[in-house]
Amino acid sequence: MTPKDPGPAYCLNPGCGNPIGRNAGSGRPRHYCSDACGRAYRRAREKSPTPDALAHSAFAAQVADDLARAVTHMLQLTRAQQPLAALTLLRVVEGDLEDLKAVPIQQARDQRQRNADIAQCLGVPSEQITRKLSADAVRRRMDSRSLRTRTRVRLPRQAAPPTTTAPQGVSTARIPSHRRTPADGGEVTPSRARDPDRHPCGPAAVLTRALSHLQRLSGKPLRELADDSGVSASYVSRVLSGERCPSWKVARLLTLACAGDPAEIQPLWAAARGQVPTQRQSLPAALRGLHLAAARPCTDELGEHTRLTPHAITGMFNGTALPAWEDVEELAHALNAEAQPLRPLWNAACAALAAPLPSAAGPIPR
């Protein structure tokens, strides 16, 4: 193949993928099979959230949750007439408020809102938004929050509310956990899965890590993976670097080209897109997807970072037993991932476990 013959090319629109005929000669090469396909791709790119935008949304949700807990605890201290403790907690609330103000500003920039409109909402000069709350300043504030939270006041954890309402007749009894117990009856070694130095990656970063690890396991170079999946090499490179969040069609093609299991990737893709997982997805497959994104560490290594036994971890991956939510949360943190996207799948598994078995004479459910 000569340098002037770049080989077969395909439309950059992930929903198309048709081959593009390139005529020999000079001129700018075509990237879309038609002008209409190019316009559709650009419209979808504007609507599709980037990994940075998804990270901003996840960070804002985390800060809002921390702020709500801090305000609730501060109300309790005020009613209990503990002014010194309330004043100490006020410093935490003020820091959370600054974080919560910075992130929506960056979210507005992600939506291409003007600084003048943002400043008008806050009632401050536009120059203050540009100077004190620039994109770099917001990024530094997000990175420094992990250092500031190490010294923040310890608040009592509240049970996370379920994201879906349990159907009538579904038992809400707590599922027993499968945690290691010391043989001598002493204290259990604390879990390191939620150590302050460990910060779970957002859903978009987890999807990128999973696809990148699949590509490394396949041993295929970038050009060969692009040819096997029918996607342009430039787009594959942007997906594997985290610059682009692919459509499900592209994510599935890349998974199949690397001999992976799409069932393990689909929950990660849904979380990266900010979508609620469907009932067709299963909790064990999602956990295996997180395991893949973490480069598949052995169960003994995961057991060292958690209070779960290796046998229990294997059962969670295989789906032989339904774990308690705190076990799912701890395993997700040990895999350096957020656990909250798994909550709908865990709720669905609990509902399926409590549902009555179908009659032997009845039709087989599809």
Question: Does residue 229 belong to any structural domain of this protein?
Answer: yes
| pLDDT tens-digit readout, 309-352 | 888 899 899 888 788 888 999 999 999 998 888 888 888 888 77
Give the CATH number for residue 245.
1.10.260.40
Is residue 337 classed as helix, strand or coil in its secondary structure? strand
Indicate yes or no: pTM above 0.75.
no
Tell me: do 231 and 111 sit in the same domain: no
DSSP H helices, 133-194, are 135-148
| pLDDT tens-digit readout, 162-180 | 443 443 433 333 444 555 5
Question: Does residue 301 belong to any structural domain of this protein?
Answer: yes
Tell me: do 253 and 310 sit in the same domain: yes
Q: What amino acid occupies position 338?
A: E
Tell me: do 207 and 303 sit in the same domain: yes
Question: Does residue 361 belong to any structural domain of this protein?
Answer: no
312-326: b or e for each residue (b if 16 or more CB lie within 10 Å)? bbebbbeeeebbebb
Tell me: do 244 and 317 sit in the same domain: yes
Tell me: do 315 and 218 sit in the same domain: yes
Tell me: do 243 and 107 sit in the same domain: no
Is residue 277's pLDDT more than 80? no
User: What's the number of domains the chain is made of?
Assistant: 3
183 by Cβ neighbours in 10 Å (0-12 / 13-18 / 19+) ranks as: exposed
Tell me: do 55 and 14 sit in the same domain: no
Tell me: do 223 and 327 sit in the same domain: yes
Average pLDDT over residues 267-279: 79
Specify whether the CB–CB gap between 255 and 283 falls below 8 A: no
> What is the residue range of 114's domain?
51-151
